[in-house]
Copies of this chain bind each other. A is one copy, B any other.
Amino acid sequence: MPAFPPTFQEQLRDLFRLRRDVRRFRPDPVPEDVFMDMLDAAHHAPSVGLSQPWRFVRVDDPARRAAVIAEFQRANDEASTIYEEERAQLYRSLKLAGLREAPIHLLVCVETCPDTGHGLGRQTQPVTLRDSAVCAIQNLWLTGRARGIGVGWVSILEPDRLRQTLDLPPTWDWVGYLCVGWPQEEPDVPVLETAGWDQRQPLESHLFQR
């Protein structure tokens, strides 16, 4: 398993550091071949027992998109009520999703009963099926960033309120609803950091030994 060139290793490190959760998009369309490359990278993610349980659902229908936007508004309003005073004000000042502007809406689901993989590796930890779909999202996100395309993961939604709207099969679980498009900004640090919401912690505080 030969290593990749040192230049690549350095650029990969930059890629991880420069990947952002994008919430401000330009409305220009994403070229179809670039988006397919992002999906192809996602499809080469690791999956438990080679189960490939990810399901990519492109949401194009305007009425369905509007329902997702409405649900985000509802969930975001509700979420804002847990904060008080200054932090509540700060929360409301944050732009947390680019659902209106993003040219592509992509819902990533996980098939919880896939035929593929024959159950290998997931008897003890079925959640590893979901983990596989999350790795797919991360591959898509990194590929997008390398091409200059932004991705925003909108987690402020109650999946159960959208299942019917999006006509999801009963064995599919919701993983991530993604906005994809050309970003308006090029921030070096996360907007939540710039806005003073929270800071990056030192790595050392996350390391333990047993």
Contact = CB atoms under 8 A, between A and B. Distances in A.
A150 B118 contact: no
A28 interface: no
Interface in A113-160: 116-125, 127-128, 130-131, 134-135, 137-139, 141-143, 145-148, 150, 153, 155-159
Given A19-B46, A121-B156, A192-B120, A185 B1 contact: yes
A18 B167 CA distance: 35
A3 B156 contact: no
B156 A56 contact: no
Q: For chain A, which range describes its interface: under 10, 10 to 19, 20 to 34, or 35 or more residues?
A: 35 or more
Interface of A: 1-5, 8-9, 11-22, 37, 39-41, 43-46, 48-52, 54-61, 64, 75, 78-79, 82-83, 87, 91, 94, 96, 107, 116-125, 127-128, 130-131, 134-135, 137-139, 141-143, 145-148, 150, 153, 155-159, 166-167, 174-176, 183, 185-186, 190, 192-193, 197-201, 203, 206-210
20 contacts: A1-B18, A1-B20, A1-B145, A4-B14, A5-B11, A19-B44, A43-B206, A46-B141, A50-B198, A50-B200, A52-B206, A58-B208, A60-B209, A64-B210, A79-B123, A116-B198, A124-B158, A125-B158, A135-B137, A167-B210
